[in-house]
Structures are given as structure tokens and as C-alpha cells.
Amino acid sequence: MFSLFANWKSHKNLITTRAWVNTFLDALDISFPQAVIESRIELVLFPPLPLIYPLKQLVSDSEITVGAQDISALPEGKHTGQVASESLAGIATHVILGHVETRQSGDTQEIVQAKFERALSTNLAPLVCVTSPEQVIAESPYIVYEPAASVGTGKVAGIDDIANFKSSCHLQSTQKFIYGGSVSPENVTDLMKDGVIDGVLVGTDSLDPLVFAQLVNNILSHA
Ligand code: PGA
């Protein structure tokens, strides 16, 4: 199965999200639902927090699920402003942890590990983002390699570099290896070659619904 994750970061509101969904679903290839049902592809959208629930409702008939871009390292409790993983029960299916941007704003490996345990305890599937093999969490179902030089720069990493990084991670056979960093409709099928990666995390090119639909459609024709 090829995993497709869309990270909207701090973009969009309720109005632009509705418009995105309408345009995206119209442009999506009709083979998409069957590809999900046959487990050839999974698609998870990661909007900003206030949009998780409305987006889940907007895509409820479409085999798309919705995830969170981060969670608190703390359980439910007296922590004003924090979003405990318990609060996402029944709403989000996945959570992004240790994204290079959240590590830059203070998440240490210890904090990422604590968030990872919170995610598992509430049945959220964690995507652990890493820029070096030391950041890999051996039990994580998804490891997302996001070289800092490729995130948001338009400079996609070469498949040989991605493959070398993967081998230095010594992943378990059950762990999925995802690549993120300037993935586009133009480069995604090259990235899929030789089965090095099991999926992609897309930032910039998930924001325009027509560009993102093209990206998904290109994956569908190869998945
Ligand atoms: P990008 O972002 O596709 O804009 O490089 C990827 C990410 O940060 O998840």
C-alpha cells in the first residue's frame, strides 16, 4: 500500500477548506475509492487543528481520513491550550510527530518520544519525522524522512540519497518508510520507482486542490 499524507501546516480556514474539498473531489480520479478499498493507497489530510473535525465531515463519503499535525506530550488534564491525544479520539486517525518545524520550535527527542507514547495509548497512528537515523523510533509504524534542505525549498532529494538514508535506519520489515520534502505531481512517480519509499508527505503541493489531485492521480496510475 502506498501512503499519501498532506500536511497543510498553518494554512486555510473553514471557507477555503470547503472550496478545497469540492474542487479536489471533482478532480480526483474515479478509481480512488476502489484503490483505498483494495489497500493499494491510503490518503490522510492533516489540516490545522480547528479544521480537523469539519474536514472529517466534508470527506466522510470519500475514503479519505484526517489526522493531526501534533499533540501534547501530556495526557488529559490541567494543561490550558494543549491538545491531548484523548481529545482526538474518533476524529483523527494519524498524527505527525517531530516534524522538522516542530523540532526547530523546541521539540526535543525526549518530547517526541513522550508524544509517541501518548499517540499509541489512544490509537492514533504516529508518523515520526526524522532528519537523522538517531531520531528513528523503532516501534513507530511510519518513519518519515524529511531532509531539512528539501522541506519547502522545491529541491527534492535524490532517490539514491533517500535509499542510503533508509538503509542507515535499519527499519523493521513492518515499518513504513515515507519521504517528505518538495514532493510534486512531476516528481512523485520517479520517487515511487524501485519501491524505496512506501509513501510521501506533501506540504506545499497539497494546498492547491488541482495540483494535489494531479499528484494523487499520478500515484493512482502507478500504485
Ligand atoms: P513541502 O513540505 O512539500 O512543502 O516540502 C513537506 C513537509 O514539511 O511536510
Q: Residue type for 19, please? A: A
Nearest to 96, CA basis, from 76, 66, 139, 75: 66
The overall pTM is greater than 0.75: yes
How far is the centre of ligand 1, averaged over its atoms, from the C-alpha of 150 (Å)? 8
Number of compact structural domains in the chain: 1
pLDDT in tens, the chain (223 residues): 999 999 999 999 999 999 999 999 999 999 999 999 999 999 999 999 999 999 999 999 999 999 999 999 999 999 999 999 999 999 999 999 999 999 999 999 999 999 999 999 999 999 999 999 999 999 999 999 999 999 999 999 999 999 999 999 999 999 999 999 999 999 999 999 989 999 999 999 999 999 999 999 999 998 7
List, by residue number, the catalytic residues. Answer: 99, 146
Tell me the CATH number at 79.
Answer: 3.20.20.70
Whole domain around residue 133: which residue ranges? Answer: 2-220
How far is the centre of ligand 1, averaged over its atoms, from the C-alpha of 143 (Å)? 15
> Which ligand 1 atom lies nearest to the CA of residue 151?
5
- Binding-site residues, ligand 1, Cβ < 6 A: 7, 146, 151-152, 180-183, 201-205
Q: What is the 3-state secondary structure (H, E, C) of 47-89?
A: CCHHHHHHHHHHCCCCCCEECECCCCCCCCCCCCCCCCHHHHC
Number of residues that make up the chain: 223
> Which ligand 1 atom lies nearest to the CA of residue 184?
3
